[in-house]
Amino acid sequence: QRLTSLETEKILKEYLELIKRIAYLEDILQNEKKLMLIIRDELLEMKEKYGDERRTEIVEDEEEYEIEDFISLEDIVITYTQDGYLKRLPLSTYRKQRRGGKGKIGMTTKLEDLVDQVFVTTNLHDILFFTNKGIVYRRRAYQIPEGGRTSRGVAIVNLLGIEKDEHITTIIPIESNEIAESKEENNEKYLFMATKKGKIKKVPLSHFYNLRNVGIVAVRLLPKDELIGVRLAGEEDKIILTTKRGNSTCFSGNQIRLLTRVACGPKGISINENDHLLNISLVSPET
C-alpha cells in the first residue's frame, strides 16, 4: 500500500510539472518578443559550443553560360519558299522510304507559292541569309522557329526585319567552327557572289566572322543591280555563270582576285541588252 502511494505521488508531481511546462511554452508562443529572445539565446549557445571557422568559401560564380550549353545537337531540315516563309523541322520527322514510296508533305504552301530552298544542317550551325540588296544576315539555326510538318513557317520579314522590297536570294548553312577554321593557312573557304549585271566577287569566309544580327553589307552594288546568288567554295572549284538568254561561262575560283567585304567586284560575264545573270553554280574538281 505504501508503494502504491509513492507511485501516485510521483505521477501527480510529473503531471503538475507537465502542466507548468505547457503553460510556459504557450506563453512563449503567444509572446513574439520573448520567442525571439529565446531563439537568440539558443543560437548564441550553439555558436559558442560548435562554432569554428567556415571550411568552405562562398564566392560569385565567374563562369558564364550560353544558351547553347543547354541545347542538344540535332539534325534539322530548313525549308524556305519563294513567298518568304521559313521553318525548321527535326530530320527525324522524315523517315526513309523505298524507291516507289509516295513521300510525305514537307510543308503546306499557298497555291501560287513554291519551295525555293531546302537543306539539312544542325540546330547549332550558323545560317547566313543574303538578300538581293547585297545585305547578309546571320542567325543560329535554333533561332529559326520550329514548325509542324504541314505548316508554312514564319515570314522571313518577321525573323530578319528586311525591307518590303528586299528578298532572300541565298541561304547558306555554316558549321559553328567553319568560319574560324577557315582563317587558318591553306584552309580558307570563300564566298562567291554574283550580281544581276554579271559582276562576280570573291570574299574570304573569315570576313563574315561574328556577324551582328542586324545585317551588314556583303557586296556593294551599282545602281539598278542586285545580288542574285552566293556560293561557298574553295579556290579549285569551277564557277559557272548563266544568263536568262542561255549564255554561260565557266572559270576556276582561283582566277578571281580577292576583294574586301564591301567592294563591288569585277565583271564575270558580259551581259547583252535585255539579258541578265540568272544563276551561279559550282562544279567541284572531283566531279
CATH number, position 183: 2.120.10.90
Q: Are residues 43 and 146 in the same domain?
A: no
pLDDT value, residue 104: 58
* 61 belongs to a structural domain: no
* Domain limit, last residue, from 113, 147, 176: 176
Q: Are residues 73 and 147 in the same domain?
A: yes
pLDDT value, residue 180: 59
One digit per residue, pLDDT tens: the chain, 287 residues? Answer: 555 777 888 888 888 999 999 998 999 899 999 999 999 999 988 888 887 777 787 777 667 777 888 889 999 999 999 999 999 999 888 766 556 555 555 555 566 778 899 999 999 999 999 999 999 999 999 999 998 877 888 999 999 988 888 999 999 999 866 665 655 656 678 999 999 999 999 998 888 877 777 889 999 999 999 999 999 988 889 999 999 999 999 999 889 888 887 778 889 999 988 999 999 999 887 76
Q: Are residues 85 and 149 in the same domain?
A: yes
* 244 belongs to a structural domain: yes
Q: Are residues 155 and 234 in the same domain?
A: no
* 60 belongs to a structural domain: no
Q: Are residues 115 and 22 in the same domain?
A: no
Q: Are residues 125 and 143 in the same domain?
A: yes
CA separation (Å) from 264 to 64, 98, 222, 243? 40, 48, 8, 19
pTM given for the model: 0.71
* Domain limit, last residue, from 131, 155, 176: 176
Domain that includes residue 190, residue range: 177-287
Phi, psi at 44, each rounded to 5°: -65, -40
* 56 belongs to a structural domain: no
Q: b vs e for 21-47, b when ≥16 Cβ sit within 10 Å of the residue's Cβ? A: eeeeeeeeeeeeeeeeeeeeeeeeeee
> How many domains, the chain?
3
Q: Are residues 165 and 253 in the same domain?
A: no
pLDDT value, residue 105: 57
Q: Are residues 183 and 282 in the same domain?
A: yes
Q: Are residues 172 and 99 in the same domain?
A: yes
* 62 belongs to a structural domain: no
* 55 belongs to a structural domain: no
Q: Are residues 72 and 150 in the same domain?
A: yes
* 58 belongs to a structural domain: no
Instruction: Give the whole-angstrom CA distance, residue 208 versus residue 232.
Output: 12
Q: Are residues 83 and 115 in the same domain?
A: yes
Q: Quote the cell numbers at residue 56.
A: 568552405
* Domain limit, last residue, from 126, 149, 176: 176
Cβ atoms < 10 Å from Cβ of 80: 22
Q: Are residues 159 and 195 in the same domain?
A: no
* 63 belongs to a structural domain: no
